[in-house]
């Protein structure tokens, strides 16, 4: 199985268009150690030719352009992208679907909750229903990924709910319970397999580690995991936001409740942070936080990273 990181950054990307936080300003000034990262997406292939896209970022057009494996190959109209899979309804994960118009066949996979959200937004009707087959996957069930015409891609997913939050633009302000109308199907994690016995996980958003999740991930070959923030309050401390990571549905990398601590005793081949917010210090190759993450056995993903499993 081949996994290509198309976009390593969280919503907004790095640098973010209107941001002068410490990180973005350093990038705008051309200081060393920083590289721009586009928004959250990976592409996975079992055969090295046909790909499933996992999340469709607003930067998808640019991501395709700089990834030759995703260029049209034969015939007048063609794309190696044969399926798209969504893990939630965040703007950084669905807006790129609009780039996939032009009557190109593919299978579009999401939970019923996210399929309903797409159906309710008529702008997504640019995905011609004669060509784009919307398919609903169920929690805790295996699903074989298929092209638009039903040809198997050689990839199987197991979909499971993870602690998270409804997309920002779908929050229910009338929900007095404090969880903004979030339901289980709003945020899922995925186990991706190609029949070789390898277990790859893609979890770009997760609010906390649970015993179930830890047990599931133990023994995995590769885990891509929510690396949005270094500390829960970093956006507030940097004066670029009023929300904590917890409020946004993301657990932080550092600290007692952080992902480094939560993964410490798990046996995992490669652990890789993805969905990095532009405020996160690990984006800088020379930052002490980056060295700390590396010492704990973690890698930081980057646009163009390729991982084999
Ligand atoms: C998130 O991951 O929390 C969202 O992508 C934030 C956003 O919608 O910008
Ligand atoms: Mn996001
Ligand atoms: Zn910034």
Atom number, ligand 1, closest to the C-alpha of residue 205:
2
Q: Contact 10/241 with Cβ under 8 angstroms? A: no
For residue 73, the CA-to-ligand 2 centroid distance in Å is 31
User: What strands, in cross-sheet order, belong to the sheet with 188-193?
Assistant: 142-146, 152-161, 188-193, 200-203, 222-226, 270-274, 298-300
Query: Does any ligand 1 atom lie closer than 6 A to the CB of residue 11?
Result: yes
Query: How far does residue 277's CA lie from ligand 1's centre (Å)?
Result: 9
Answer yes or no: is the C-beta of 229 below 6 A from any ligand 1 atom.
Answer: no
Per DSSP, the chain holds a count of helices (H) and strands (E) of 9, 14
Ligand 1 atom closest to residue 93's alpha carbon, by position in its atom list: 5
Which segments within 162-232 are labelled E, that is strand?
188-193, 200-203, 222-226
pLDDT at 230: 98
207 lines ligand 1 (CB under 6 A): no
Q: CA of 146: how far to CAs of 106, 139, 243, 275, in Å?
A: 8, 18, 39, 26
Is the CB–ligand 1 distance for residue 248 below 6 Å? yes
pLDDT band at 204 (very low <50, low <70, confident <90, very high): very high
Please report where in the chains the tokens 């030719």 appear, as a residue. 49
Spatial CA neighbour of 185 closest among 224, 212, 159: 159
- Ligand 2: centre distance to CA 155 (Å): 24
How far, in Å, from the CA of 12 to the mean position of ligand 1?
8
Q: Looking at residues 169-189, what average pLDDT do you find? A: 95
Q: How many CB atoms lie within 10 A of CB 76?
A: 5
Indicate if ligand 1 lies below 6 Å from the C-beta of 10: yes
Per the prediction, the chain carries an average pLDDT of: 97
Q: What's the average model confidence in pLDDT over 79-91?
A: 98
Contacts of residue 206, defined as CB under 8 A and 6 or more positions apart, other chains included, come to 162, 163, 164, 187, 189, 213, 225, 226, 249, 250, 251, 259
pLDDT at 173: 92
Whether the CB of 90 sits within 6 Å of ligand 1 = yes
How far, in Å, from the CA of 92 to the mean position of ligand 2? Answer: 5
Q: Is 91 in the pocket of ligand 1 (CB under 6 A)?
A: yes
- Among candidates 61, 68, 34, which has minimal Cα distance to 306? 68
Q: Which of the listed residues 11, 205, 242 should we mutate to test ligand 1's pocket, taking the one with most ligand atoms within 8 A of CB? A: 11
Contact 192, 157 (CB under 8 A): yes
pLDDT in tens, 226-254: 999 999 999 999 999 999 999 999 999 99
Ligand nearest to the CA of 278: 3
Tell the residue number behind the tokens 């800088």, with chain if given: 284
Q: What average pLDDT score do residues 8-21 get?
A: 98
Atom of ligand 1 nearest to the CA of 12: 9
Nearest CA residue ID for atom 6, ligand 1: 11
Whether cis (ω within 30° of 0) applies to the bond prior to 15 is yes
Ligand with an atom nearest the CA of residue 240 = 3
Q: How far apart are CA 218 and CA 216, in angstroms?
A: 6
C-alpha 114: how far from chain center: 15
Q: Which ligand is nearest to the CA of 16?
A: 3
Tell me: the pLDDT tens digits for 133-149? 999 999 999 999 999 99
What band does 265 get if pLDDT is binned at 50, 70 and 90? very high
Q: What is the pLDDT of residue 157?
A: 98
């Amino acid at each position: 199985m081949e996994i290509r990181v198309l976009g390593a950054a969280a919503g907004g990307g790095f640098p973010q268009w209107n941001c002068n936080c410490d990180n973005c300003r350093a990038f705008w000034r051309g200081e060393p150690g920083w590289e721009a990262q586009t928004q959250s997406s990976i592409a996975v292939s079992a055969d090295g030719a046909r790909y499933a896209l996992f999340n469709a970022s607003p930067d998808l057009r640019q991501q395709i352009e700089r990834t030759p494996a995703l260029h049209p190959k034969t015939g007048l109209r063609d794309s190696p992208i044969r399926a798209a899979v969504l893990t939630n309804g965040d703007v950084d994960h669905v807006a790129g679907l609009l780039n996939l118009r032009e009557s190109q066949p593919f299978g579009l996979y999401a939970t019923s909750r996210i399929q309903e959200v797409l159906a309710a937004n008529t702008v997504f009707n640019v995905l011609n229903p004669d060509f784009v087959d919307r398919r609903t996957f169920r929690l805790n069930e295996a699903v074989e990924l298929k092209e638009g015409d039903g040809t198997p891609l050689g990839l199987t997913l197991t979909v499971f709910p993870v602690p998270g939050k409804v997309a920002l633009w779908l929050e229910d302000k009338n929900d007095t319970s404090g969880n903004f109308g979030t339901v289980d199907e709003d945020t899922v994690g995925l186990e991706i397999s190609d029949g070789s016995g390898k277990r790859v996980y893609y979890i770009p958003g997760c609010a906390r580690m649970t015993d179930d999740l830890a047990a599931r991930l133990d023994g995995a070959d590769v885990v891509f995991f929510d690396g949005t923030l270094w500390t829960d309050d970093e956006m507030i401390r940097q004066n670029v936001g009023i929300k904590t990571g917890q409020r946004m549905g993301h657990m932080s990398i550092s600290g007692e409740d952080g992902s480094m601590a939560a993964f410490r005793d798990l046996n995992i081949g490669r652990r890789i942070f993805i969905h990095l917010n532009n405020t996160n210090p690990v984006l800088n190759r020379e930052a002490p936080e980056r060295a700390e993450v590396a010492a704990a056995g973690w890698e930081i993903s980057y646009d163009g990273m390729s991982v084999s499993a």
